[in-house]
Structure 1
Amino acid sequence: MKPNQRLIVALDFSSMGEVEQLVEHLGGSVNYYKVGMELYFSVGNRVLHYLQQQNKQVFLDLKLHDIPNTVARSLKSLTGLGAAMLNVHAFGGPAMLKAAAEAVAGEAERLRMEKPKLIAVTVLTSMDQTEWSSIGQTAELSGQVVNFARLAQAAGIDGVVASPQEAALIREACGNDFLIVTPGIRPQGSERNDQSRVATPHGALAAGASHLVIGRPVTAAADPRQAAERILAEMEGE
């Protein structure tokens, strides 16, 4: 894949005006966008329709986590919206993950559309080992991330969301065809903000990441297009 097929810019906004201004400014530099809860709960499907009209791919990042039947029924509704990627929480367990994978595949077949990629969130990149332990988890964080990845793969999930620090371990455990979508990407010289487990764009790809999710280093830059193009160059190792 080319770098602009692997870079996903996070639209961490709450209004269509902010979205349209950024997407127009970035133009052809960015082809893939993440729509998270803040934006989707604010403007709903309008943002998906707008991005599709601009010929952009969408990662609809709603992190579903509920009983298997509820997640399956929700994903049937979301599949038809045309997003290229959807996600659930691996914490939901094997039954929920299996129901989710079957629901997306079945609904895509019923609608005669290309199946969206379905990925599972492992451990949020805002967490470090200390915080992980504080919620009663005794296993090493990185080991549990790999366990979640194996669990997701066995359930028919296409990949995971994980920090770049675990990307190499997941790639070794799950093979070359498994998607590894990594937030917590910080270009050279960027602030960490609220992320704990981070890496540079080139470092994350070298470790085995398939896609990079990047928000503030682009969206909060003085010139977002220039920032995105620097990141694309960094992904190439330049």
Structure 2
Amino acid sequence: MDPSSRIIVALDLDNRRAADEIVERLGEECRFYKVGLEMLTAAGPDLVEQLVGLGKDVFLDLKLFEIPNSVAGAVRAAGALGASMVTVHGMGGTGIMAAAVAAARDFPRLRVLALTVVTSMTGADLADIGVSASPQEQVLRLARLARGAGCHGVIASPQEAALLRGALGPDALIITPGVTLPGESPTEHARPGTPRAAVTAGASHVVVGRTITGAADPVAALRLVRANLEP
């Protein structure tokens, strides 16, 4: 896979103007953007439509966790916007994930991804909610549920990429947030990794946010991430 197509730039920003400026500055350098709850709430679905209109792929990171009918409706709405990927929460179980997959069938380009364990969580955080498994054990359990429900792939940290590639096989999408360049602080990510480490371990895509969007020169920062992906 072309290194450029592996990089998803996270528009984790609090206003539309900032997002528009990043997209304009990156231009043809970036093919793929993530729009999460913060950006979607601030800018509305029009931002997704604009990105799709510019020929970009959009990863709509909704982390859906609702009754199956509501999840299916949200997935159909994501497909109608032209999103390429949408996330559903693996903790919702097989019924919710299967409903998302069924709803996505009307949109051939839309891929449903199951969130396993968010990259900020540790074993202690899981214990707080009554999960005795380690993060790796829980990631693997939810990934197997997601595969059984028909999901196209999963979201997990770079530290679980190798485990997941071995369990899910060569065709599954494995999307890894929590990616930073060597020497950078991982900020809120408890289970981080570099772009090269993530892809070498088996990630199909890496999600990179403030490393690029917070840089004085976002284009130069994106090129550094791309260079780090290359052997």
- Equivalent positions of 1:161-180 (< 5 A) are 161-180=155-174
Aligned to 2:184: 190
Aligned match of 2:5: 5
Q: Distance in 1 between matches of 2:2 and 2:184?
A: 23
Deviation at 1:134, TM superposition (A): 2.3
Q: 1:24-73 CA distances to partner (integer Å, 9 max, x unpaired)? A: 11122111000010111111122112212321110011111011122112
Q: TM-score, normalised by structure 2?
A: 0.97
Q: What secondary structure is seen at the aligned counterpart in 2 of 1:83?
A: coil
Whether 1:103 aligns to 2:99 is: no
Unmatched runs of 5 consecutive residues or more in structure 1: 109-113
Aligned structure 1 segments of 4 or more residues deviating by more than 6 angstroms: none
Partner of 1:38: 38
Structure 2 distance, partners of 1:100, 1:27, is 32
Please say which of residues 176-185 and 139-148 is displaced more in the overlay. 139-148
Matched, 1:217 2:211: yes
Task: Please name the residue that 2:23 is paired with.
Answer: 23
Question: For the residues of structure 2 that align with 1:177 and 1:93, how far apart are their CA atoms?
Answer: 22
Correspondence for 1:84: 84
**In 2, Cα distance between equivalents of 1:29 and 1:229:** 8
What are the superposed Cα offsets for residues 72-99 of structure 1, whole Å, 9 maximum, x if unpaired? 1221222111011111000010111111
Contact between 2:123 and 2:133, CA under 8 Å: does it hold in 1? no
Q: Secondary structure at the match of 1:80?
A: helix
CA distance in 2, matches of 1:78, 1:28: 24
Alignment of 1:53-202 (within 5 A): 53-105=53-105, 107-108=106-107, 114-202=108-196
Supply the AA of the counterpart residue of 1:133: A
Q: Which secondary structure state, in structure 2, belongs to the residue aligned with residue 202 of structure 1?
A: helix
Code of the residue aligned with 2:163 in structure 1: it is L
TM-score, with structure 1 as normaliser: 0.94
CA distance in 2, matches of 1:125, 1:131: 11
Write the distance in 2 (CA, Å) between the matches of 1:69 and 1:8. Answer: 29
What corresponds to 1:111 in structure 2?
Answer: none
Separation (CA, whole Å) in 2 of partners of 1:61 and 1:115: 16
Return the alpha-carbon distance in structure 2 between the equivalents of residues 61 and 127 of structure 1: 17
CA distance in 1, matches of 2:135, 2:15: 35
Aligned residues: 231
CA distance in 1 between counterparts of 2:46 and 2:97 reads 28
How far apart in 2 are the matches of 1:12 and 1:155? 29
Shift, 1:136, TM fit: 1.6
What SS does structure 1 have at the residue aligned with 2:154? strand
Cα distance, 1:128 vs structure 2 = 1.3
My pick for the range that moved more, 118-127 or 42-51, is 42-51
Between 170-179 and 10-19, report the one with greater CA deviation.
Answer: 10-19
- Displacement, 1:215? 0.2
Distance 2:17 2:73 in 1: 31
Paired-residue identity, %: 43
